[in-house]
Amino acid sequence: MAFPQSAVLLLIVASAGVARASLDVELRPNMSDWEAEQAAKAANASKAAAKASKMAAVEKVVSMLESLSDKVQAEGEEEAKTYNKFS
């Protein structure tokens, strides 16, 4: 009778070890999951590049408008000096 009990005990211990080992294993993605992940990364990168490109254009326009504003302000001050000189 001792043999079956020891066999049962051995099976329980072995199955606990297998169950524990299966919990520690990190699942790896299959090829289609990996390709989908890479495509998502590429899409995000292209979106970021497009946004940066748009922002560069906006920043250039803002810079040009600020430059124009400064130039107009300086010309206005010169005109005011000339007007005050002759009035």
The DSSP annotation for 51-83 comes to HHHHHHHHHHHHHHHHHHHHHHHHHHHHHHHHH
**Residue 23: pLDDT band with limits 50, 70, 90:** low
Instruction: Determine the pLDDT at residue 21.
Output: 53
d(CA 7, CA 31): 42
- What global pTM score does this model have? 0.45
**Residue 38: pLDDT band with limits 50, 70, 90:** very high
